Amino acid sequence: MKQENSKKYFEEACQYIPGGVNSPVRAFQSVHREAPIFAKKAKGAYLWDEDDNRYLDYICSWGPMILGHNPDFVLQGVQEAILSGSSFGLPTKKEVELAKLIVQSVPCIEKVRLTTSGTEATMSAVRLSRAYTKRNKIIKFEGCYHGHSDALLVKSGSGLLTQGFQDSNGIPQSVLQDTITIPFGNKEKTLEYLQTKEIACIIVEPIPANMGVIESQKDFLQFLREETQNYGSLLIFDEVISGFRVALGGAQEYFKITPDLCTLGKIIGGGYPVGAFGGKEEIMNLIAPLGQVYHAGTLSGNPISVRAGYETLSYLMQHKSSIYLDITKKTEFLVKEIEKLIQKYEIPAVVQSMPSLFTIFFSEKEKVTNLEDALSSNVDFFTIYFNTLLENGILAPPSQFEAHFISHAHSEDDLKKTLKVIELAFQKIHEVM
């Protein structure tokens, strides 16, 4: 497969942009590629690179494209919105409509603020929890990613894991000392810290997907819900990935556990830059101009992004009974068939999934339940897997520690084609085992 243009652009990119990319996982470093592929366009389940190779896409922009790339109705809405101007620094009618859709859909959200990214949403939600509880310390779980703000960038999975380190440099000790990290699923440690009554909030990905997909235990989330209440801490679900994905109302609807606050992003922008945080009215009313917790943004609630989000969420709401069933079925089919292939070729691997998300961990473990388990994976096997797929026109996430995303646009034929290529990859892995 010819990738000359991508190589050429990457070489040039490296002269002007650190590492040639604006987000580290895009560099394809951990899968030993000379250069990443440079995207030219995408439509539905497919993406084309600058050498005009076509790929069946399982990155899906890392989550936003639940309906596939560039659906016509989103494109139309955005084209219409652009004609009226790009940004006003004033409120607009559509952002109220988007906020209303979010409040109607997500159980914990009585009021919501829009941001430009998921990072801003989690940063602000944590600030709000500190103001509300008048406490400083927060708990996060190892391998959960909540964006790249200082307080949350500790043992934070995602791109850091891919690059082979766990914590970022450049974060003051004074900030780190207020962030407590605990292995996902560890009740004893969590309880121990909650009992100090110094914890402002626990922030958690209710379905961890940034160390690969961890099939979440309802039981653990229920425990977090009850014990945060018992000790006066807030519970924040970071639903930037799971929101509007595993159900319209996200993981909180799926598991029927309602946090105090939650954060959204990815899907709610329909591929454009949006994030959001929301929750109980009593808490949200502490935000300025009502209260003294500051949150703002020149492009917060940007009309173009809001229109894309509005069209996406409206579509999801109108078709919710068919879409969520469809992506669940597709995921189950793919996972079941991959499991058969794993057995057939005796690959040391386990597939873990939630509706529309999955990871093949090349690990001897029966289940991967936390960061330590995830790190037991054989990344050399993953590299063979990734490169075999890429060379055969299938774009998997370029990291063992990320999720494959299945969209509504992925057809049955697409999935069958994928399985053929995965079989090829497993044959290669079997040969080197």
Of the residues 95, 142, 227, 238, which one makes contact with ligand PLP according to CB under 6 A: 238
Take residue 358 and report the two structure tokens written for it.
């999955």
Is there a catalytic annotation at residue 266? yes
Of the residues 50, 205, 260, 373, which one makes contact with ligand PLP according to CB under 6 A: 205
- The reply to whether 145 sits near ligand PLP by the rule CB under 6 A is yes
Burial per residue of 64-87, b for 16 or more beta-carbon CB atoms within 10 angstroms, e otherwise: bbbbbbbbeebeebbeebeeeeee
Compute the least distance from the CB of residue 241 to ligand PLP, in Å.
4
- The reply to whether 241 sits near ligand PLP by the rule CB under 6 A is yes
**Residue nearer to ligand PLP on the CB measure, 95 or 205:** 205
Residue with the CB atom nearest ligand PLP in the bound state: 118
Q: List the one residue out of 87, 73, 52, 124 whose CA is nearest residue 293.
A: 124
Mask: binding to ligand PLP, 258-277, rule CB under 6 A, as x and -? -------x---------x--
Take residue 110 and report the two structure tokens written for it.
């009585």
Is there a catalytic annotation at residue 9? no
Take residue 356 and report the two structure tokens written for it.
């529309």
- The reply to whether 240 sits near ligand PLP by the rule CB under 6 A is yes
**Residue nearer to ligand PLP on the CB measure, 403 or 429:** 403
Give the whole-angstrom CA distance, residue 355 versus residue 242. Answer: 9
Amino acid symbol at 10: F
Of the residues 36, 44, 77, 118, which one makes contact with ligand PLP according to CB under 6 A: 118
Catalytic residue among 49, 57, 238, 260: 238
- The reply to whether 194 sits near ligand PLP by the rule CB under 6 A is no
Give the whole-angstrom CA distance, residue 399 versus residue 390. Answer: 13
- The reply to whether 212 sits near ligand PLP by the rule CB under 6 A is no
**Helix, coil or strand: residue 211:** coil
Take residue 364 and report the two structure tokens written for it.
């001897």
Catalytic residue among 49, 266, 310, 414: 266
Residues 266 and 62: beta-carbon distance below 8 Å: yes
Compute the least distance from the CB of residue 361 to ligand PLP, in Å.
18
Take residue 296 and report the two structure tokens written for it.
């703002």
- The reply to whether 122 sits near ligand PLP by the rule CB under 6 A is yes
Cα 374 to Cα 11, 183, 191, 360: the distances in Å are: 32, 12, 24, 10
DSSP label of 351: E
What does residue 378 show for φ and ψ, rounded to 5 degrees? -90, 100
Is there a catalytic annotation at residue 310? no
Take residue 135 and report the two structure tokens written for it.
């406490």
- The reply to whether 243 sits near ligand PLP by the rule CB under 6 A is no
Of the residues 147, 185, 271, 355, which one makes contact with ligand PLP according to CB under 6 A: 147
- Known catalytic residues? 145, 238, 266
Tell me which residues touch ligand PLP (CB under 6 A). 117-119, 122, 145-147, 205, 210, 238, 240-241, 265, 275
